[in-house]
């Protein structure tokens, strides 16, 4: 395709995705397309290239190592427990909940506490509101050819105010952590500790990484979870199987990180939701040198698009690709597919640094909610996929809450 003066290639076959993300990853950079999200992501790991990226990745990686998982899990369990309590009177009054809003609030609370420890509810709310404005602004314009030219003065001012509020909050947290001890077990503490090896991260670098994690670490999981409740509300068999697994393994107790390997069906449901509705539905790269792929030259400066949404429905790889079938992810069936037929978390050196965190978080939330509530659809509600920073269900996923007896 042509986009202005640029040539654009959309690669859909798993082998070609593998070539770009893994085998010949050195020949590709994120490049200028990433600048469209620089307002939100700053000069963080997510957008920088080359040696800058390698150094950042070395510094940030330890914050996501397995040792951090028990701490993350307790943050997830606590926030989910609070949400379930909040739902109790709503269920009694037979009120509806919107899965999009609920999952956004929940994942915001989790990522804010994972980054900064015990932050007050008022601060979580204020930071969450600023994140909503900043993400919403980017969402509306990211894929529009003219969007960045159309910004009205009040909208631009609101966006700048939101970015300012996020910056001020993160700066304060970093300064306080430098002055006294950082919150134990937090991502902030891990980032500051990792600065002790090699050339330390500056405060500005720590701030940029935290701001990027705040956005990348909740918009994605919020979309995936909202889709999960929508899909489960429409697939009774899968919902029943999930409820049975949770009942048999947990018997009414909240799941802990040690139960996750046994919650196999719960995990397959999430994997299948990420196949059909991958939050990061499109990613772009630019070759830094001419590359050749199945006889085509991809020139330096072209844009290469990779879309898990497209590849995850590739008929050469997936049987009945439009059908929701969590058992595609049993070990045997998954092993029979080519690499990169499934890549919701990207791949190669720049694969998602938070993938283990996100998977555990989603498993814990889905199992906790499914034990306490059955969420059923509301007739007439129309849910369609909408693209922005993530692929999310829109305009809302209204669901009815039915409290389950095991709780």
Structure token digits, residue 370: 């499914």
344 binds ligand HEM per the rule CB under 6 A: yes
Positive or negative torsion for Cα 186, 160, 106, 393: negative
Residue span binding ligand HEM (CB under 6 A) among the ranges 73-81, 145-153, 209-217, 286-294: 209-217
Angle at 103 (CA atoms; ends 383, 387), nearest 5 degrees:
45
Options 166, 189, 358, 372; binder of ligand HEM; rule CB under 6 A: 358
- The stretch near ligand HEM (CB under 6 A) out of 90-98, 171-179, 338-346, 366-374 is 338-346
Q: In what order do the strands lie in the sheet with 303-306?
A: 2-3, 6-11, 303-306, 283-287, 28-29
In order of 38, 59, 146, 306, the CA distances from 53 in angstroms are 15, 10, 29, 20
DSSP 8-state class, residue 98: E
In the chain, DSSP finds a helix count (H) and a strand count (E) of 14, 12
Q: Interface mask (CB under 6 A) for ligand HEM, residues 26-45, using x and -?
A: -------------------x
Per CB under 6 A, 80 contacts ligand HEM: no
Cβ proximity to ligand HEM: between 341 and 358 the closer is 358
Q: Which of 89, 87, 105 is nearest to 97 (CA)?
A: 87
Q: Nearest approach, Cβ of 221 to ligand HEM (angstroms)?
A: 5
The two three-digit tokens of residue 273, written as one number: 């939701």
CA neighbor of 392 nearest in space, from 99, 175, 159 = 99
Q: Find the binding residues for ligand HEM in span 280-299 (CB under 6 A).
A: 280, 283
Triad 358, 277, 110: Cα angle to 5°? 25
Write down the least CB distance from residue 47 to ligand HEM, Å: 8
- The stretch among 116-124, 150-158, 275-283, 397-405 that binds ligand HEM (CB under 6 A) is 275-283
Among the listed residues 350, 363, 369, 397, the single contact to ligand HEM using CB under 6 A: 350
CB-based burial of residue 379 (10 Å sphere; 0-12 exposed, 13-18 middle, 19+ buried)? Answer: exposed
216 lies in the binding site for ligand HEM (CB under 6 A): yes
The rounded distance, in Å, linking the Cα atoms of 71 and 75 is 7
Region from 148-156, 254-262, 344-352, 394-402 binding ligand HEM, contact rule CB under 6 A: 344-352
Q: Are 191 and 107 in contact (CB under 8 A)?
A: no
The residue from 117, 128, 217, 388 that contacts ligand HEM (CB under 6 A) is: 217
User: CB under 6 A: which stretch of 125-133, 290-298, 345-353, 367-375 binds ligand HEM?
Assistant: 345-353
- To ligand HEM, the closest distance from the beta carbon of 126 in angstroms equals 20
CB of residue 93 to ligand HEM, shortest distance in Å: 32
Which residue, judged by CB position, is nearest to ligand HEM in the bound state? 354
- Token digits for 350? 């720049």
User: For binding to ligand HEM (CB under 6 A), which residues are involved?
Assistant: 45-46, 57, 212-213, 216-217, 220-221, 224, 279-280, 283, 344-346, 350, 352-354, 357-358
């Amino acid at each position: 395709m042509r986009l202005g003066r640029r040539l654009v290639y959309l690669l859909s076959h798993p082998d070609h995705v593998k070539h770009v993300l893994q085998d010949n990853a050195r020949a590709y950079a994120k490049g200028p397309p990433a600048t469209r999200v620089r307002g939100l992501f700053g000069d963080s790991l997510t957008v920088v290239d080359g040696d800058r990226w390698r150094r950042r990745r070395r510094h940030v990686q330890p914050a996501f190592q397995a040792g951090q998982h028990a701490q993350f899990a307790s943050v997830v369990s606590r926030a989910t427990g609070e949400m379930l309590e909040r739902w109790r009177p709503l269920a009694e009054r037979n009120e509806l909940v919107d899965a999009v809003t609920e999952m956004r609030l929940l994942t915001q609370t989790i990522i804010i506490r994972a980054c900064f420890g015990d932050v007050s509810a008022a601060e979580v709310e204020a930071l969450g509101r600023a994140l909503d404005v900043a993400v919403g602004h980017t969402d509306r314009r990211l894929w529009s050819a003219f969007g960045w030219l159309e910004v009205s003065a009040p909208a631009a001012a609101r966006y700048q105010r939101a970015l300012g509020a996020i910056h001020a909050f993160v700066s304060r947290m970093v300064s306080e952590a430098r002055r006294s001890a950082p919150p134990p077990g937090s991502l902030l503490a891990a980032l500051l500790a990792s600065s002790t090896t090699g050339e330390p991260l500056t405060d500005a670098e720590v701030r940029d990484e935290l701001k990027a994690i705040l956005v990348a670490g909740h918009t994605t999981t919020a979309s995936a979870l909202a889709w999960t409740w929508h899909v489960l509300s429409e697939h009774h068999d899968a919902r029943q199987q999930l409820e049975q697994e949770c009942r048999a393994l947990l018997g009414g107790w909240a799941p802990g990180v040690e139960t996750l390997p046994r919650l196999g069906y719960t995990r397959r449901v999430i994997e299948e939701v990420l196949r059909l509705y991958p939050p990061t539905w499109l990613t772009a790269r630019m070759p830094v040198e001419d590359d050749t792929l199945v006889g085509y030259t991809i020139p330096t400066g072209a844009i290469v698009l990779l879309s898990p949404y497209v590849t995850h429905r590739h008929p050469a790889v997936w049987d009945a690709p439009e059908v929701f079938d969590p058992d595609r992810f049993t070990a045997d069936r998954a092993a029979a597919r080519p690499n990169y037929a499934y890549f919701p978390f990207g791949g190669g050196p720049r694969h998602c640094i938070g993938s283990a965190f996100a998977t555990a978080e989603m498993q814990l939330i889905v199992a906790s909610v499914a034990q306490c509530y059955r969420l059923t659809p509301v007739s007439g509600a129309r849910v369609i996929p909408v693209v922005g920073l993530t692929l999310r269900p829109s305009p809302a996923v209204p669901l009815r809450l039915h409290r389950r007896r095991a709780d």
